[in-house]
Amino acid sequence: MERVLIVSSVLLWMVVLTNLLLTLALIRQRNTEPVSQGQRKDFGGPPVGQSAPDFTAETLVHGRVKAYAVSSTMAGPCRST
């Protein structure tokens, strides 16, 4: 029984480390892609300077108030800081 616990712990740590390495590789790849001001991706949002449209959201838990914070790192004020 002790051997099974050791083997499962080793396998779990191997999966965790593999996941960490893949995450770091993805971050590195995303950070090395050249993106200039003229090449921003269009995510289908409202035009610059217009407010986002009103929306309603339903929750799975009834009777509770939920607050949503919507932001984007592609916005001008966020990119300039």
Tokens 């004020």 belong to: 77
Question: What's the predicted TM-score (pTM) here?
Answer: 0.41
Domain boundaries of the chain, sorted by first residue: 1-33
For the chain, give the longest Cα–Cα distance. 64
Q: What phi and psi, each to the nearest 5 degrees, are found at residue 63? A: 85, 5
- How much of the chain, in percent, has pLDDT values that exceed 70? 62
pLDDT (0 to 100) of residue 56: 75
Residue-wise pLDDT for 28-63, tens only, equals 887 776 665 555 566 667 777 788 778 777 666 666
Listed in sequence order, the residues at least 6 apart from 78 whose beta carbon sits closer than 8 Å to its beta carbon are 71, 72
**Would you tell me how many other CB atoms lie within 10 Å of the CB of residue 40?**
10
Burial class (CB in 10 A: 0-12, 13-18, 19+), 52: exposed
